[in-house]
Amino acid sequence: MSASETDLRRAVTILDQYRAQLESLQRQQEVLSLSLEELMRAKETLSRYQKAGKEAEILVPVGANAFVFGKVADASRALIGIGSDVVLKEPIPKAVERLDGRIRNLQEAAGSLSQRVAELDARVSAQEEFVQGAYERLEDKRSGIPAGKPSG
């Protein structure tokens, strides 16, 4: 195997690694997006719950676009998880504030991730061009065309 073939194989391996990393980052973006949507729904539900007032009949979302009927027992407080299976009972405005903080954190993470995806996408494009050029040079060499000379 010639040095050119070795270089081409190495370049293709690097390209494959970049593509795998890019796919992984894109999956992370999807997870962040879903988490952000969930937080926004929770915030909206808490706000509407509070506005409905005590004893109001409401539809409670249970996931997968399914709802159950319920009545507001306490329109001023909510239970909210803070991690490690710990749940706090706190005023709804405080719970909404806590959710807003989580939303901001996720939005910052999503922005950072988008930047990393863009950078890696540029690397993939550059590596694709390099691989294509290396392949063409190797083919030209095999067919006896001098480097840099058009074959047509």
Give every CB contact of residue 19 below 8 A, 6+ residues apart in sequence.
Answer: 124
Look up tokens 């399914």; give the residue.
66
Q: Where would I find the beta strands (DSSP E) of the chain? A: 57-63, 66-71, 77-83, 86-91
Whether 72 is in a domain gets the answer: no
Specify the pLDDT at position 57: 94
Cα–Cα separations (whole angstroms), residue 101 to 20, 51, 107, 124: 32, 21, 10, 34
Label residue 1 by pLDDT band (50, 70, 90).
low
- pLDDT at residue 143, rounded to an integer: 83
Using CA atoms, how far residue 78 sits from 21, 70, 106, in Å, is 40, 15, 22
104 domain-assigned = yes
Contact criterion met (CB below 8 Å) for 77 and 90: yes
Question: Given this model, what pLDDT does residue 151 score?
Answer: 53
The reported pLDDT for the residue numbered 144 is 77
Tell me: the pLDDT tens digits for 123-152?
999 999 999 998 988 888 888 766 555 555
Within-domain flag for 113: yes
Average pLDDT, stretch 9-22? 96
Q: Is the dihedral of CA 121, 124, 130, 132 positive or negative?
A: negative
Domain with 36, as residue range(s), is 3-51+92-142
First and final C-alpha spacing in the chain: 28
pTM, two decimal places: 0.76
pLDDT in tens, 52-106: 999 999 988 888 989 999 999 999 999 999 999 999 999 999 999 999 999 999 9
Total domains present in the chain = 1
Predicted pLDDT of residue 90: 96
Classify the phi-psi angles of 54: left when phi > 0, otherwise alpha if psi is within -120 to 50, otherwise beta.
Answer: beta
Residues 104-125 have pLDDT tens digits of 999 999 999 999 999 999 999 9
Is residue 84 helix, strand or coil?
Answer: coil
Instruction: Tell me, yes or no, whether 82 lies in a domain.
Output: no
Instruction: Say whether pLDDT at 18 is over 80.
Output: yes
Residue 117: inside a domain, yes or no? yes
57 occurs within a structural domain: no
Q: Say if 128 falls within a structural domain.
A: yes
Cα–Cα distance measured from residue 55 to residue 82, given in angstroms and rounded to the nearest whole number: 27
